């Protein structure tokens, strides 16, 4: 255990140091230039960015992704509290499209997988998309004994983090719960295709409950979708926002075999639409109150 722990730490700790050093450096520079205090928001983002990266990604790529995330994804919109996209996911999206060979494939998700004969670093979603048999059971997926990004593999640890976020009132339990519900419903719909006479594939036939514990869905729903800045703000809006994230995440991973993940794009998409969701929720409440007020005025006139 200690050998594995130290080996993992030797890869992860330098990534965290690079993320904090570069990210906080840029934050300090913008704070000095704009004449305001340094916000503590990047202390969270700086840890999340390494958590969603492959274990063997070069440090300079992490650094460039951090620069893009902080400057383009955050400071360009006015800094902390003004960004429309989750900064950590912005960094991952940049790395995914700028350095695709380091962010996808069958050798990037397990440390030194390309050097070990007979060991594949391909994720479960990658195997399913290519029609390859998955050598893991549900407990392996739930506990984290599977390939994946640094912090996405263990659903047990992710749920522990979710409990902490909910108890400390940092993360919205409505977004978390509705995210899992949306993913479960979408996966269940695809599982029902054979009963309707529609031939599916390995991704559509994969048990719906297993979709909740593979890939980055759980990590994204718990730690990314609940970002208080880029998420929906109204109570009903949180339910809609979270549900659509889970719903679209499973839809994307099944319909697009070239990109069998989905959660990153689903969250970024709903980040953009979260103000629209809140707008229509508020408008619906206003119309309901106006209608109620009109009914009360009518009753008053009748009584008079």
Q: What are the residues whose beta carbons fall under 8 Å from the beta carbon of 88, sequence distance 6 or more?
A: 45, 48, 49, 51, 52, 69, 224
Give the per-residue pLDDT at 97: 92
Give the per-residue pLDDT at 272: 94
Q: State yes or no: pLDDT of 117 exceeds 60.
A: no
- Measured distance between the N- and C-terminal CA atoms of the chain, rounded to whole angstroms: 81
Rounded CA-CA distance 147/181 in Å is 24
pLDDT in tens, 155-166: 999 999 999 999
Q: What is the mean pLDDT of the chain?
A: 89
- In angstroms, what CA-CA distances link 171 with 82, 177, 231, 281? 18, 11, 10, 20
pLDDT in tens, 277-287: 999 999 999 99
Q: State yes or no: pLDDT of 255 exceeds 90.
A: no
Rounded CA-CA distance 95/260 in Å is 17
Closest CA to 93 of 57, 66, 132, 130: 66
What are the tokens at 182?
């949306």
pLDDT in tens, 169-188: 999 999 999 999 999 999 99
Q: State yes or no: pLDDT of 260 exceeds 70.
A: yes
């Amino acid at each position: 255990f200690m050998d594995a722990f130290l080996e993992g730490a030797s890869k992860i700790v330098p990534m965290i140091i690079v993320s904090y050093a570069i990210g906080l450096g840029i934050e300090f520079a913008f704070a000095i230039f704009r004449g305001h205090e340094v916000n503590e928001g990047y202390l969270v983002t700086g840890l999340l960015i390494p958590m969603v990266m492959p274990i063997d990604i070069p440090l300079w790529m992490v650094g460039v992704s951090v620069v893009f995330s902080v400057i383009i994804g955050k400071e360009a919109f006015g800094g902390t509290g003004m960004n429309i996209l989750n900064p950590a996911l912005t960094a991952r999206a940049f790395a995914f499209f700028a350095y695709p060979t380091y962010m996808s494939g069958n050798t990037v998700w397990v440390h030194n997988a390309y050097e070990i004969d007979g060991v594949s670093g391909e994720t479960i979603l990658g195997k399913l998309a290519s029609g390859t048999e998955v050598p893991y059971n549900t407990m392996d997926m739930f506990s984290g004994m599977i390939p994946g990004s640094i912090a996405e593999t263990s659903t047990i640890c992710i749920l522990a983090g979710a409990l902490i976020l909910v108890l400390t009132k940092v993360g919205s339990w409505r977004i978390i719960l509705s995210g899992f519900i949306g993913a479960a419903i979408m996966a269940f719909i695809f599982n029902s295709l054979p009963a309707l006479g529609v031939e599916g594939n390995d991704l559509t036939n994969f048990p719906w409950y297993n979709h909740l514990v593979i890939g980055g869905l759980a990590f994204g729903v718990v730690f990314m979708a609940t970002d208080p800045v880029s998420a929906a703000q109204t109570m009903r809006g949180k339910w809609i926002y979270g549900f659509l994230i889970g719903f679209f995440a499973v839809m994307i991973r099944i319909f697009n075999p070239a990109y069998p993940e989905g959660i990153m794009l689903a969250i970024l998409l709903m980040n953009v639409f979260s103000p629209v969701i809140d707008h229509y929720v508020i408008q619906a409440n206003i119309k309901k109150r106006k209608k109620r007020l009109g009914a009360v005025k009518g009753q008053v006139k009748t009584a008079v």
